[in-house]
Amino acid sequence: MFNVNLRNQVALVTGAGRGIGKAIAQGLSDCGAVVAVNDIDPASATLTAGTLTGEANAYVTDVADSAAVDRMIEKIVADFGRLDIVVNNAGVEPKASILEMTDADWHSAININLSAAFYTSRAAGKVMRAAGSGSIINIASIAGHNIPIALRSGYVASKAGMIGFTRECAREFAAYGIRVNAVCPGVIETEMTAHLRQNVAQMQKWLEDIPQKRLGIPEDVVGLVLFLCSDASRYLTGQAINVDGGKVML
Ligand SMILES: NC(=O)c1ccc[n+]([C@@H]2O[C@H](COP(=O)([O-])OP(=O)(O)OC[C@H]3O[C@@H](n4cnc5c(N)ncnc54)[C@H](O)[C@@H]3O)[C@@H](O)[C@H]2O)c1
């Protein structure tokens, strides 16, 4: 549990049904925020919302659907009266070589990992502008900097795009008192990375390059997100910060 006070704040976390998003939702809730738990999967969204310590609602929405995102943000504001924090976390990692990748796989990576952050930022940005404050946190990846992953071109392109979008959004939204930052995790133990961990030799090689000599767990990402939501980071915007045990040092 981290000592950050987010009482009276309302936070949306996308893709919070499991993994990193679920841990972030829990961390925000532990710090007193009301949490809007989004996921495309109804069962996991409801389960996460039900297990949080504080007030929470589940919002089952495909974040790649622009009109549905607009409706979700409207509903959250109708339900709770405000929206202070958005964590764009929902993501997919389709695997294929460039020569074999289908349009559908490419578009799923770009739309869910990148366009969704634009949709939520546009809709929530209007609410935050009216309030004169807000914090948007985009869960990108070290893959968006300079760590390409084999057979993940759509994913890597979307995460690099997310870092670029974060900077542009931060420049534009600073005038409204809204801060926008990206969090770039290394390999974190979730269902998304289960396949990586099955390849012992590959994992051993990956671990050799991590100064802290372990993979991350979802809770390792939470502290940075809480810092970026809080006033402790009030002079920080447009940054893409790695949380990766030291693997990438920029
Ligand atoms: N796990 C890692 O090593 C790692 C590393 C760097 C970045 N990330 C990023 O962190 C985020 C979370 O990753 P994770 O490992 O927890 O993944 P995960 O697969 O365990 O969870 C992703 C969640 O997003 C939801 N989701 C997928 N498509 C959606 C959609 N269209 N609308 C709403 N929800 C949707 C899924 O249902 C799931 O609950 C992703 O953006 C991922 O790219 C993960």
Complete domains list, the chain, with CATH: 10-243 (3.40.50.720)
Q: What average pLDDT does the segment 8-24 reach?
A: 98
Q: Is 158 in the pocket of ligand 1 (CB under 6 A)?
A: no
- CA 226 to CA 135: how far, in whole Å? 10
pLDDT in tens, 123-136: 999 999 999 999 99
The long-range contacts involving 50-58, CB below 8 angstroms and separated by at least 24 positions, are: 51/26, 52/25, 52/26, 53/26, 53/29, 54/29, 54/30, 56/25, 56/29
3-state secondary structure of 112: helix
Q: Is 18 in the pocket of ligand 1 (CB under 6 A)?
A: yes
pLDDT tops 70 at residue 34:
yes
- CA 236 to CA 172: how far, in whole Å? 14
pLDDT in tens, 47-56: 999 999 999 9
pLDDT at 146: 74
Ligand 1 center from residue 79 Cα (angstroms): 25
- Supply the residues annotated as catalytic: 155
- Strand 56-60 to strand 34-39: parallel, antiparallel, or no bridges (unpaired)? parallel
- CA 153 to CA 218: how far, in whole Å? 24
Listed in sequence order, the residues at least 6 apart from 39 whose beta carbon sits closer than 8 Å to its beta carbon are 14, 15, 16, 17, 18, 21, 45, 48, 58, 60, 90
Q: Is 89 in the pocket of ligand 1 (CB under 6 A)?
A: yes
Mean of all residue pLDDT scores within the chain: 97
